[in-house]
Structure 1
Amino acid sequence: MPTQPNSHRLRLGRYSESGRAYLITAVVHGRQPIFSDWHLGRLLVSELRRAHETNVVNSIPWVVMPDHFHWLMQLEEGNLGRVIGAIKSRCTREVNEITGRRGPLWQTGYHDRAIRDGEDLLPFARYIVANPLRAGLVDKIGDYPLWDACWL
């Protein structure tokens, strides 16, 4: 039985297309605010940057929130599921090693939204970058350390 209702359906109809932009959201298991510790959040940031620097994706903006992350990126090569799975796996190993915790860090699966050709990316980017403001974590986005955008 899945630990999350309908998590087995997350992969139905999912298709990876090189050159396509995707809005990705992944959530920490049990919504635990693991990344409230910004040092742990930097571990996830390193994995997002690794995917960009190895040309697997082209990152547009991303934000690491205490219990989830949002990432707007263009898939350059590979399979979307493998890219996200690798990031989540490496991050889990690092966080568990540093904190001494065991077990899963992430909820099963992730949410993705393929961005249509010609669709403006700016509203998605603004949504992502404004997350810490909407959550009341900071008064100015420049005060939040766990985000980046290619336009800045």
Structure 2
Amino acid sequence: MGRSRYKVLGNQPHFITCTIVNWIPIFGKPELAQIILDSLSFLQKKQRLTLYAYVIMENHLHLIVSAVNLSKEIGNFKSFTARSIIDTLKENKNNHLLNQLEVFKPKHKTAQQYQLWQEGFHPQAILSEEMLLQKLEYIHNNPVKCGYVDEPGHWRYSSYRNYFGQKGLLEIEIIE
């Protein structure tokens, strides 16, 4: 992770953020958001990642997750989802989004044509119940704050419903 002030602290829950290059609104397309959901579900089923909370916005996502090797699992997640999303964009001939992913790719990345994710994921260890509640509230209210919905439960790409005994798009481990 280099000189980042963010560090993974063992196998405990971390709040993380993954952002699309130049904040391009990739996940406004449901089939691309589904790639994220499917990948997270896969990592859960293979017991490589424990998911406690999530929200997928149009150009970034927030998670509260833990893993034995969180940096490796998030790196694999970002690599797999980037390949899958770029392949889907190519299949659908979505040249507009592909052109943006090419233009906003860092210039030093000469071995690849496109870049989907910004580098890093800014892990913040959840060190107290107060911090956990603050991060849960932040995640679940992010769609309201952005003006996408009036109530957090109206955003389908979120774990908010899970915390109120309703079915969400992904299974999560409820932190009590």
* TM-score past 0.5 threshold: yes
- On the 8 A contact 1:61/1:71 being kept in 2, the answer is yes
| Greater Cα offset, 95-104 or 84-93 | 95-104
Within the candidate set 73, 78, 94, 2:84 is matched to 94
Q: Which residue of 1 aligns with 2:168?
A: none
Is 2:40 the counterpart of 1:29? no
3-state SS of paired residue (1:109): coil
Q: CA deviation at 1:8?
A: 4.9
Task: Show structure 2 runs of 5+ residues with no match.
Answer: 91-97, 99-112, 166-176
Q: CA deviation at 1:32?
A: 0.5
What whole-Å deviation, never above 9, does each CA across 1:32-81 have from its counterpart, x for those lacking one?
11011122111111112222222122211100111110001222x2x221
**What are the residue-to-residue correspondences of 1:1-152 with 2, within 5 Å?**
8-10=2-4, 14-18=7-11, 20-75=12-67, 77=68, 79-100=69-90, 101=98, 103-116=114-127, 118-120=128-130, 121-149=132-160, 150-151=162-163, 152=165
Q: CA deviation at 1:112?
A: 0.9
AA aligned to 2:157 is L
Over the matched positions of the two proteins, sequence identity in percent amounts to 26
Once superposed, what is the RMSD of the aligned Cα atoms?
2.0
- On the 8 A contact 1:42/1:146 being kept in 2, the answer is no
The alignment of Structure 1 onto Structure 2 pairs a total of residues equal to 141
Task: Show structure 1 runs of 5+ residues with no match.
Answer: 1-6
- On the 8 A contact 2:144/2:151 being kept in 1, the answer is yes
The structure with the greater share of residues assigned to helix is 2
Over 3 Å off, 4+ runs: none
The structure with the larger Rg is 2
Taking structure 1 as the reference length, the TM-score comes to 0.82
Quote the Cα distance in structure 1 between the aligned partners of 2:57 and 2:152.
Answer: 12
What whole-Å deviation, never above 9, does each CA across 1:5-55 have from its counterpart, x for those lacking one?
xx8522x6734412x110000110111110111221111111122222221
3-state SS of paired residue (2:66): strand
Taking structure 2 as the reference length, the TM-score comes to 0.72
The structure with the greater share of residues assigned to strand is 1
